[in-house]
Amino acid sequence: MRKRINGLPALRRSSRLPFAAIGAAGGFAVTILFALYNGALGIWYPSLWHGSIGIYYALLSLVRGILLAAERKAKGKEQETAESYRRKIFTATSGIVLAMNAALVTPVSLMALDQRPIQTGLIPAIASATYTTYKISAAAVQLKRANGTILDRELGMIRLVDALASVLVLQNTLIIAVDGGISPRLFRLVAIASAGILLLIFAVSAAGVIRGLAFCRKSA
């Protein structure tokens, strides 16, 4: 009986692995679908706002896919070789993420200037609300699992950035659906809220990169 009890932690850890893999694959698939959805809206209306958001989420999905594949590949290497490989992947992908987040200034500016389609209906608002709820919930659940390899930590940072960016998209779609655009009385509020979320995205990504570089130096 004691042997069985002692073996429970290892059994629990091993049983979590398939669920973690399924969760990562599910989040990856949902982000791709959201990117395609916004891309389709950008072509249909046409809308530079939706097109730029679609490109952003497509690139975010690409980076996430690279990290997931790299982490899986690293697990098949010796420890020293795996850590060196992870550090190289982190250095390359973290720079891409920072550049992508800086590029969010474009769609945020379009939103503040009201340069978007006006008649998109309630469906995009419902889709954005569903996606935002899912991403915030997923990011909150994964916060306590932030430890791990450098690539695991970067994936956690991307989940949080993804959730924050989805709040921007939801804000935009709700304004279109409810108010038909940004009225003068809403302009200042939207500008302040968008700038605040954008600064938070910059802070989260920059802090993630700084912690990651410190982790790389520590493990080198």
Q: What average pLDDT does the chain have?
A: 80
3-state secondary structure of 13: helix
Q: How many other C-beta atoms lie within 10 A of the C-beta of residue 186?
A: 14
Tokens 């340069």 locate to: 115
132 contacts 71 by C-beta, under 8 angstroms: no
Q: Please list the alpha-helical segments (H only) found in the chain.
A: 2-44, 48-74, 79-103, 105-112, 122-143, 150-179, 184-219
Cα-trace Rg, the chain: 20
Predicted TM-score (pTM) of the model is 0.81
Phi first, then psi, for residue 47 (nearest 5°) are -145, 115
Q: Average pLDDT in the 163-188 region?
A: 75
Report residue 33's pLDDT band, with 50, 70 and 90 as the boundaries.
very high
Which token pair is 158? 């991307």
What confidence tier does 143 reach under pLDDT thresholds 50, 70, 90? low
